[in-house]
Amino acid sequence: MNIQSIELRASNVNKYPAKQHAQAVASKLRESDGLIYLLGQYEFTLEDSDMSKTWRQRRYFYYCSGVDVPNCCLTYDLKTDDLTLYIPEIKPERVLWTGRGPTLKEARETYDIDSVRLNGQLFSDLDRWKEQNPTSTFFILHKEQRPVDKSFPNVDSDKLLPAIDACRVIKDSHEIALIRKANEISTIAHRAVLKHIQRFKNESQIEGIFTDACISKKAKQSYGVIAGSGENASMLHYMKNDEPLKGRQFVCLDAGAEVECYASDVTRTFPISAGTWPSQEAKKIYSIVETMQESCIARLKPGVKMFDLHVLAHQLAIDGLLKLGILHNASPTELYAMGTSKGFFPHGLGHHVGLEVHDVLGIPILRYEERISSVADAVLSLPLSTLDQPELEEGMVITIEPGIYFSRYELERAYLSSPIHSKYINRDILDRYWAVGGVRIEDDILITADGYENLTTAPKGEAAFEIIRNGADSRSLEELYE
């Protein structure tokens, strides 16, 4: 029996629009002929070990193939409009250990491609194409990704990546559906955390139940779970997740599910127990961040510049911190000019979401140069709109994720020790806020023709508090994830 002919049970699925994506990339290249070559991710073992590294498909390959299988590659002929997938030969001696990949027939039925070949046929196919197209260009993502032992007279490693980036920035309906599904599963996982938070003793339990909820719905993690409690919430990408919760006010949970390679990116900040405000300081900071996010989201629509919303978020942060007395001795305009608010809101307002949680930019969604002047450190100052700013477009999916943080290390290192910034920060009042740690609220937003749609439905604010107050009931974990 030819093992290549064994068939798996096919399921009725809506095919990922790989051919449409390849054609869109070709239009961005603006070339009449040539061959695009994309390399999928191959499997490797860990150094000095026979254990495999965690495998993750290359996203540029996936965008033009929809194939989440190891050891594949892809070609697309610009002149003939032929999209060809190359898959590994099935090795009978490995099937017992790791199973087998798709057969040629299964791959043709599963993926939106024109033809399927075996990896062993790639080099002869490339030789044939080169003979038939001696002056055409061979497009690759990176110089090191050209096929081994193959020379081509015209190789271009500069144009393909920006062409795919430009396409990936605008999501089609299939991609939006996957991001929406990822957000739905993220909501289930965030709700599971809220239901159980009063029982938890350690940050590790937060990570555990979130991951469990996602896996139970056949989803992966878009990125490592960030479950920072207390002052750990002031670290933007804190992933240790191993400290006790006792005596701490807030948890900043930044965690999102991934569905069929598409990410979600969701952050919620909530009290650890009782479903009430752990302190007036915590309540006031949360209110400021809530206002920052709601005000920015309300302004989203095509033509709006993300940079302008980033500036608005800083202005709202400055206003709020002035009212609390944390900032003083200057007007809002002066504080913005000095960049002191960056000590409390040090990151950008948002980014694209898609095949990567921080998806490709094409043109960076927040383009800015650091101010360099005699009165402000370039590292600390806020961006000035000195460059042409890109506008939001229909079909983009972006995050809106303002935050206010009390990083003891960073504020003491770069701000409280600065003769410029220290005079604008009231240390006596600031000392009352260290325990808050940090507050971030993040949603994934689809830009529509006339505004926006918030794809994130995870509870926040009072809705999250209500879930915490009610706590977990006697139902099984499986029922809780429904």
What is the per-residue pLDDT for 296? Answer: 98
Q: 456: helix, coil or strand? A: coil
CA-to-CA distance for 93 and 332, rounded, in angstroms?
Answer: 70
pLDDT digits (tens, 9 = 90+) for 319-370: 999 999 999 999 999 999 999 999 999 999 999 999 999 999 777 787 654 4
Q: Considering only CA atoms, which of 467, 390, 375 is closest in space to residue 423? A: 375
Considering the entire predicted model, what is its pTM? 0.92
What is the per-residue pLDDT for 98? Answer: 87
CA R_g for the chain:
25
What is the per-residue pLDDT for 335? Answer: 95
Instruction: Give the list of residues 6+ apart from residue 348 with CB closer than 8 angstroms, or none.
Output: 310, 366
Kindly compute the dihedral angle of the four CA atoms of residues 226, 227, 233, 239, in this order, to the nearest 10 degrees. Answer: -50
Q: Considering only CA atoms, which of 90, 89, 146 is closest in space to residue 119? A: 89
Task: Let me know: does 253 contact 269? Beta carbons within 8 Å.
Answer: yes
Q: With 0-12 CB in 10 A as exposed, 13-18 as middle and 19+ as buried, what is 367?
A: middle
Residues of the chain with pLDDT under 70: 1-13, 149, 367-387, 472-482
pLDDT digits (tens, 9 = 90+) for 119-138: 999 999 999 999 999 999 99
What is the per-residue pLDDT for 383? Answer: 54
Sign of CA pseudo-dihedral 290, 292, 296, 298: positive
